[in-house]
Amino acid sequence: MARPIRVEYEDAVYHVMARGNEQKAIYRDVTDYQVFLHTLAHACEQFGLIIHVYCLMPNHYHLAVRTPQANLSQALGWLQTTYSIRFNRRHRRSGHLFQGRFKAQLVEADAYGRRLVTYIHLNPVRPRDKSRPIPADRRAELEAYPWSSHGAYAGRRLRREIPPWLSLEWLWYFGPSYGPARRAYRREIADSFGRRPSDPFANVRGGFILGGQDLWAHARQHIGQGGGREEIRWSRHADQDHIWTTLAPLVQEEADPRVQIWASVRLGGQRLVDVARQYGYADGSGVHRVLQRLEARAETDPALAAKLKRLRAAAANPNP
């Protein structure tokens, strides 16, 4: 299994999610949920984590976490290892509790914090089929769900019931003060029922970056400093994805399918087999022959040569 890319720097914000091994339960009873939250409290104290949102589900958990000390891997590794040991002792079992490494997406909080709050909190009632609306009759179920920060955001918990490690700073994305913010938050949650839930991760870039160009550039800089095999591979794919964002509209406007194929492969980095499937060829060898013939023709056709040159220039200078 490839090692996941981790971009860590001071005050970075992440959406973190981890599932149970073989999608089995990581919380079997009320005590397990309490032990996990107790362990999370220790992680916050020991590593300086700031938790903005959390939701514990029977076989996975979600966190929105800020890392003032640039130590996400160390902190989350400790959290999962420590909880796994405590879980195994309680239930007299051995072996892995979590399914591989935790998943972490770097988040631009000001742009996506509000949507992330509602997305995480709606987990207990969201259908497995994400294309379906959230059933309107599950609203009471969400209000009664005890293992998330929803009650704290909605103002349903007494102050003493809110964990001291939970930051409610993101309430300010809903309003200028606690009262209006909580009312706006409750309205947004209520409006989510009976409709298809919004998925902020439809906008993820490069597999794990949820944010705009500034965050993208900042992450690219940190990844480039890593220099490992996975970082190099990711950077190459990210470059191709970025180039294809610019090229795709130009290719769609091109009437000649042979030029479309050439730009997709030579400039966009798409695989021969994928392009073959898209254009109705049996395999990649047919696409390869198209490339050879088109490039040979460009040597004697000035108009075609000029067209390929323009596409090369667009690929070399993609839009920021």
Query: Is 96's pLDDT higher than 70?
Result: yes
Rounded to an integer, what distance in angstroms lies between the CA atom of residue 52 and that of residue 9?
A: 18
pLDDT in tens, 165-181: 999 999 999 999 999 99
Model confidence at 238, pLDDT cuts 50, 70, 90, reads very low
Q: Which domains does the chain have, with CATH numbers?
A: 12-215 (3.30.70.1290), 242-316 (no CATH)
pLDDT tens track for 134-155: 999 999 999 999 999 999 999 9
What does pTM read for this prediction?
0.71
**What's residue 223's pLDDT?**
67
Q: State yes or no: pLDDT of 116 exceeds 60.
A: yes
pLDDT at 236: 45
Query: Which amino acid appears at position 308 of this protein?
Result: L
Residue % of the chain over a pLDDT of 70: 86
Query: What is the radius of gyration, based on Cα positions, of the chain?
Result: 24
Tens of pLDDT, residues 31-74: 999 999 999 999 999 999 999 999 999 999 999 999 999 999 99
Q: Has residue 213 got a pLDDT over 60?
A: yes
Q: What is the pLDDT of residues 181-203, one digit of tens each?
A: 999 999 999 999 998 877 888 77
Q: Which two tokens stand for residue 313?
A: 């220039």
Query: What is the pLDDT at residue 247?
Result: 66
- Average pLDDT of the segment spanning 213-232: 61
